[in-house]
Structure 1
Amino acid sequence: MFDLHTRVSKIDENGDPLKRLNEVIDWEMFRPILEKIRKKNRKSNAGRKPFDVVLMSKILILQSLYNLSDDATEAQIVDRFSFMRFLNLA
Protein backbone atom coordinates (compact mmCIF):
# COMPACT_ATOMS: atom_id res chain seq x y z
CA MET A 1 0.00 0.00 0.00
CA PHE A 2 2.85 2.42 0.72
CA ASP A 3 5.32 1.14 -1.89
CA LEU A 4 6.59 3.94 -4.14
CA HIS A 5 5.82 1.99 -7.31
CA THR A 6 2.27 1.34 -6.12
CA ARG A 7 1.72 4.98 -5.28
CA VAL A 8 3.03 6.19 -8.63
CA SER A 9 0.88 3.61 -10.43
CA LYS A 10 -2.16 4.87 -8.54
CA ILE A 11 -1.38 8.45 -9.63
CA ASP A 12 -1.22 7.23 -13.24
CA GLU A 13 -4.49 5.32 -12.92
CA ASN A 14 -6.23 8.48 -11.75
CA GLY A 15 -5.06 10.32 -14.89
CA ASP A 16 -2.18 12.59 -13.92
CA PRO A 17 -2.46 15.65 -16.21
CA LEU A 18 1.17 16.57 -15.57
CA LYS A 19 2.33 13.24 -16.98
CA ARG A 20 0.27 13.91 -20.08
CA LEU A 21 1.82 17.37 -20.47
CA ASN A 22 5.29 15.82 -20.41
CA GLU A 23 4.20 13.31 -23.04
CA VAL A 24 2.86 15.85 -25.52
CA ILE A 25 5.23 18.79 -25.02
CA ASP A 26 8.89 18.79 -25.99
CA TRP A 27 10.13 21.12 -23.27
CA GLU A 28 13.62 21.31 -24.75
CA MET A 29 12.32 23.25 -27.75
CA PHE A 30 11.81 26.21 -25.41
CA ARG A 31 15.40 26.18 -24.13
CA PRO A 32 16.92 28.55 -26.74
CA ILE A 33 14.32 31.28 -26.22
CA LEU A 34 14.38 30.87 -22.42
CA GLU A 35 18.16 31.12 -22.32
CA LYS A 36 18.02 34.19 -24.55
CA ILE A 37 15.51 35.82 -22.19
CA ARG A 38 17.60 35.02 -19.11
CA LYS A 39 20.96 35.89 -20.67
CA LYS A 40 22.70 38.27 -18.32
CA ASN A 41 26.35 39.11 -18.00
CA ARG A 42 27.68 37.86 -14.69
CA LYS A 43 30.19 40.02 -12.87
CA SER A 44 32.04 36.94 -11.67
CA ASN A 45 31.72 33.18 -11.52
CA ALA A 46 31.35 33.24 -7.74
CA GLY A 47 28.23 31.86 -6.14
CA ARG A 48 25.78 29.19 -7.09
CA LYS A 49 25.01 28.62 -10.74
CA PRO A 50 21.47 29.52 -11.81
CA PHE A 51 18.82 26.82 -12.00
CA ASP A 52 18.03 25.31 -15.38
CA VAL A 53 15.76 27.55 -17.48
CA VAL A 54 13.44 24.71 -18.52
CA LEU A 55 13.06 23.58 -14.92
CA MET A 56 12.23 27.10 -13.79
CA SER A 57 9.67 27.60 -16.56
CA LYS A 58 7.98 24.32 -15.62
CA ILE A 59 7.86 25.47 -11.99
CA LEU A 60 6.14 28.67 -13.12
CA ILE A 61 3.62 26.56 -15.03
CA LEU A 62 2.90 24.57 -11.85
CA GLN A 63 2.42 27.80 -9.91
CA SER A 64 -0.03 29.06 -12.48
CA LEU A 65 -1.98 25.80 -12.86
CA TYR A 66 -2.36 25.24 -9.13
CA ASN A 67 -2.46 28.88 -8.00
CA LEU A 68 0.50 28.48 -5.62
CA SER A 69 2.79 30.99 -3.94
CA ASP A 70 6.56 30.51 -4.14
CA ASP A 71 6.67 28.91 -0.69
CA ALA A 72 3.66 26.68 -1.37
CA THR A 73 5.19 25.61 -4.69
CA GLU A 74 8.42 24.59 -3.01
CA ALA A 75 6.50 22.63 -0.38
CA GLN A 76 4.36 20.87 -2.99
CA ILE A 77 7.38 19.94 -5.12
CA VAL A 78 8.93 18.23 -2.10
CA ASP A 79 5.64 16.57 -1.12
CA ARG A 80 4.05 15.47 -4.41
CA PHE A 81 5.36 12.68 -6.62
CA SER A 82 3.45 14.06 -9.59
CA PHE A 83 5.22 17.43 -9.29
CA MET A 84 8.61 15.79 -8.91
CA ARG A 85 8.02 13.58 -11.93
CA PHE A 86 6.79 16.53 -14.00
CA LEU A 87 10.00 18.38 -13.15
CA ASN A 88 12.20 15.29 -13.66
CA LEU A 89 13.51 15.46 -10.10
CA ALA A 90 14.60 12.42 -8.12
Structure 2
Amino acid sequence: MREWKTKQPGFFDVEERLARLSGLGDQLEAFSRTVDFEAFRPDLDKALAYSALAYSDGSKGGRPPFDPVLMFKILVIQTLHNLSDERTEYLINDRLSFMHFLGLGLSDRVPDAKTVWLFRERLTQAGAIEGLFNRFDMILRTAAYLPMSGQILDATLVAAPKQRNTNAEKA
Protein backbone atom coordinates (compact mmCIF):
# COMPACT_ATOMS: atom_id res chain seq x y z
CA MET A 1 0.00 0.00 0.00
CA ARG A 2 1.28 3.43 -0.92
CA GLU A 3 1.96 5.80 1.92
CA TRP A 4 0.82 9.39 1.39
CA LYS A 5 3.06 12.29 2.18
CA THR A 6 1.28 14.55 4.59
CA LYS A 7 2.05 18.00 5.81
CA GLN A 8 0.22 20.37 8.06
CA PRO A 9 -2.64 21.81 5.99
CA GLY A 10 -2.73 25.57 5.64
CA PHE A 11 -5.76 27.75 6.26
CA PHE A 12 -6.13 28.67 2.59
CA ASP A 13 -5.03 25.44 0.82
CA VAL A 14 -8.50 24.48 -0.43
CA GLU A 15 -9.38 28.03 -1.47
CA GLU A 16 -6.10 28.39 -3.35
CA ARG A 17 -6.63 25.08 -5.15
CA LEU A 18 -10.20 26.07 -6.11
CA ALA A 19 -8.94 29.42 -7.42
CA ARG A 20 -6.36 27.56 -9.49
CA LEU A 21 -9.05 25.25 -10.91
CA SER A 22 -11.15 28.29 -11.73
CA GLY A 23 -8.25 29.85 -13.60
CA LEU A 24 -7.83 26.66 -15.63
CA GLY A 25 -11.45 26.85 -16.82
CA ASP A 26 -13.53 24.69 -14.48
CA GLN A 27 -16.54 23.67 -16.59
CA LEU A 28 -18.68 22.95 -13.54
CA GLU A 29 -18.04 26.44 -12.24
CA ALA A 30 -19.26 27.82 -15.57
CA PHE A 31 -22.44 25.73 -15.19
CA SER A 32 -22.95 27.14 -11.70
CA ARG A 33 -22.73 30.68 -13.06
CA THR A 34 -24.99 29.93 -16.02
CA VAL A 35 -27.71 27.69 -14.57
CA ASP A 36 -29.98 28.60 -11.66
CA PHE A 37 -30.33 25.09 -10.25
CA GLU A 38 -32.81 26.31 -7.64
CA ALA A 39 -35.28 26.89 -10.47
CA PHE A 40 -35.46 23.08 -10.82
CA ARG A 41 -36.59 22.62 -7.20
CA PRO A 42 -40.38 22.85 -7.80
CA ASP A 43 -40.24 20.29 -10.62
CA LEU A 44 -38.00 18.00 -8.56
CA ASP A 45 -40.28 18.23 -5.52
CA LYS A 46 -43.34 17.54 -7.64
CA ALA A 47 -41.74 14.52 -9.35
CA LEU A 48 -40.51 13.09 -6.05
CA ALA A 49 -43.96 13.50 -4.48
CA TYR A 50 -45.54 11.43 -7.28
CA SER A 51 -42.87 8.74 -7.40
CA ALA A 52 -43.86 5.21 -6.36
CA LEU A 53 -40.59 5.09 -4.41
CA ALA A 54 -41.34 7.50 -1.57
CA TYR A 55 -38.81 10.26 -0.90
CA SER A 56 -38.63 10.66 2.87
CA ASP A 57 -39.28 14.07 4.37
CA GLY A 58 -37.52 13.04 7.58
CA SER A 59 -40.72 13.14 9.64
CA LYS A 60 -40.43 9.45 10.56
CA GLY A 61 -36.94 9.86 11.96
CA GLY A 62 -33.71 8.49 10.59
CA ARG A 63 -31.17 10.29 8.51
CA PRO A 64 -32.69 13.17 6.51
CA PRO A 65 -32.69 12.78 2.71
CA PHE A 66 -30.23 14.64 0.54
CA ASP A 67 -31.44 17.87 -1.00
CA PRO A 68 -33.14 17.20 -4.38
CA VAL A 69 -31.22 20.02 -6.10
CA LEU A 70 -27.93 18.54 -4.87
CA MET A 71 -29.01 15.14 -6.20
CA PHE A 72 -29.99 16.63 -9.58
CA LYS A 73 -26.59 18.31 -9.80
CA ILE A 74 -25.05 14.87 -9.18
CA LEU A 75 -27.03 13.52 -12.15
CA VAL A 76 -25.63 16.41 -14.22
CA ILE A 77 -22.08 15.41 -13.22
CA GLN A 78 -22.87 11.79 -14.09
CA THR A 79 -24.19 12.75 -17.50
CA LEU A 80 -21.36 15.13 -18.28
CA HIS A 81 -18.71 12.52 -17.47
CA ASN A 82 -20.62 9.31 -18.41
CA LEU A 83 -20.14 7.85 -14.93
CA SER A 84 -21.62 4.82 -13.21
CA ASP A 85 -23.21 5.35 -9.81
CA GLU A 86 -20.22 3.77 -8.05
CA ARG A 87 -17.72 5.89 -9.95
CA THR A 88 -19.79 9.00 -9.26
CA GLU A 89 -19.68 8.33 -5.52
CA TYR A 90 -15.91 7.85 -5.66
CA LEU A 91 -15.22 10.96 -7.74
CA ILE A 92 -17.40 13.22 -5.62
CA ASN A 93 -15.30 12.16 -2.64
CA ASP A 94 -12.09 12.53 -4.63
CA ARG A 95 -12.44 15.74 -6.68
CA LEU A 96 -12.48 19.22 -5.25
CA SER A 97 -14.18 20.56 -8.37
CA PHE A 98 -17.10 18.12 -7.92
CA MET A 99 -17.42 18.96 -4.22
CA HIS A 100 -17.30 22.68 -4.96
CA PHE A 101 -19.97 22.40 -7.70
CA LEU A 102 -22.21 20.47 -5.31
CA GLY A 103 -21.62 22.88 -2.42
CA LEU A 104 -20.02 20.17 -0.27
CA GLY A 105 -17.13 20.63 2.11
CA LEU A 106 -14.44 18.07 2.82
CA SER A 107 -16.25 16.83 5.91
CA ASP A 108 -19.79 16.76 4.43
CA ARG A 109 -21.67 13.55 3.84
CA VAL A 110 -21.68 12.37 0.20
CA PRO A 111 -24.55 10.32 -1.27
CA ASP A 112 -23.56 6.73 -1.92
CA ALA A 113 -24.10 4.90 -5.22
CA LYS A 114 -27.40 3.34 -4.08
CA THR A 115 -28.78 6.76 -3.10
CA VAL A 116 -27.88 8.18 -6.52
CA TRP A 117 -29.51 5.18 -8.23
CA LEU A 118 -32.70 5.50 -6.14
CA PHE A 119 -32.98 9.22 -6.86
CA ARG A 120 -32.64 8.65 -10.61
CA GLU A 121 -35.19 5.81 -10.40
CA ARG A 122 -37.67 8.08 -8.61
CA LEU A 123 -37.37 10.72 -11.31
CA THR A 124 -37.62 8.07 -14.04
CA GLN A 125 -40.74 6.49 -12.52
CA ALA A 126 -42.35 9.91 -12.24
CA GLY A 127 -41.59 10.51 -15.93
CA ALA A 128 -39.65 13.66 -15.07
CA ILE A 129 -36.02 12.96 -15.90
CA GLU A 130 -36.27 13.63 -19.62
CA GLY A 131 -38.09 16.93 -19.08
CA LEU A 132 -35.57 18.07 -16.47
CA PHE A 133 -32.62 17.37 -18.76
CA ASN A 134 -34.36 18.92 -21.78
CA ARG A 135 -34.86 22.07 -19.73
CA PHE A 136 -31.23 21.97 -18.58
CA ASP A 137 -30.08 21.55 -22.20
CA MET A 138 -32.24 24.49 -23.27
CA ILE A 139 -30.67 26.71 -20.60
CA LEU A 140 -27.20 25.70 -21.81
CA ARG A 141 -28.15 26.29 -25.44
CA THR A 142 -29.46 29.76 -24.57
CA ALA A 143 -26.14 30.53 -22.86
CA ALA A 144 -24.19 29.32 -25.95
CA TYR A 145 -23.02 26.05 -24.40
CA LEU A 146 -23.26 22.69 -26.15
CA PRO A 147 -26.09 20.71 -24.50
CA MET A 148 -25.33 17.36 -22.92
CA SER A 149 -28.43 15.57 -24.29
CA GLY A 150 -29.49 14.16 -20.92
CA GLN A 151 -28.30 10.62 -21.45
CA ILE A 152 -27.10 8.81 -18.37
CA LEU A 153 -24.79 5.92 -19.11
CA ASP A 154 -23.18 3.28 -16.94
CA ALA A 155 -19.50 3.61 -17.81
CA THR A 156 -18.01 0.96 -15.57
CA LEU A 157 -14.53 0.02 -16.81
CA VAL A 158 -13.76 -3.63 -17.47
CA ALA A 159 -10.22 -4.85 -18.16
CA ALA A 160 -9.84 -6.50 -21.58
CA PRO A 161 -6.86 -8.48 -22.89
CA LYS A 162 -4.62 -6.74 -25.41
CA GLN A 163 -5.04 -7.79 -29.03
CA ARG A 164 -1.74 -8.71 -30.68
CA ASN A 165 -2.74 -9.35 -34.27
CA THR A 166 -0.30 -9.05 -37.15
CA ASN A 167 -1.03 -6.69 -40.03
CA ALA A 168 -1.97 -9.69 -42.19
CA GLU A 169 -4.42 -10.93 -39.57
CA LYS A 170 -5.94 -7.46 -39.29
CA ALA A 171 -6.46 -7.28 -43.04
| TM bin (shorter chain) | 0.7 to 0.9
The Cα shift of 1:47 comes to 2.9
Partner of 2:42 in structure 1?
Answer: 32
Tell me the percent identity: 47
Equivalent in the alignment of 1:75: 90
SS in 2 for 1:58: helix
Pick closer, same or farther for the CA change 1:62–1:41 going to 2, 3 Å: closer
Q: Counterpart of 1:60?
A: 75
Specify the alignment match of 1:20 in structure 2.
Answer: 30
SS at match of 2:104: coil
Number of aligned residue pairs = 88
Q: Distance in 1 between matches of 2:17 and 2:44?
A: 34
AA paired with 2:23?
E
Correspondence for 1:7 among 9, 13, 17: 17
Task: Detail structure 1 runs of 4+ shifted over 3 Å in the superposition.
Answer: none
Tell me the distance in 2 between the aligned counterparts of 1:41 and 1:76: 25
Larger radius of gyration: 2
* Structure 2 gap ranges (5+): 1-8, 106-171
Task: Give the superposed CA RMSD.
Answer: 1.9
TM-score, length basis structure 1: 0.86
- Tell me how far 1:48 sits from its aligned partner: 2.5
- Greater share of residues in helix: 1
Aligned to 2:103: 88
| Distance in 2, Cα, partners of 1:21 & 1:84 | 14
Q: Which letter maps to 1:82?
A: S
Q: Deviations over 1:27-51 (max 9, x none)?
A: 1111011000001486x71432221
CA distance in 2, matches of 1:41, 1:4: 33
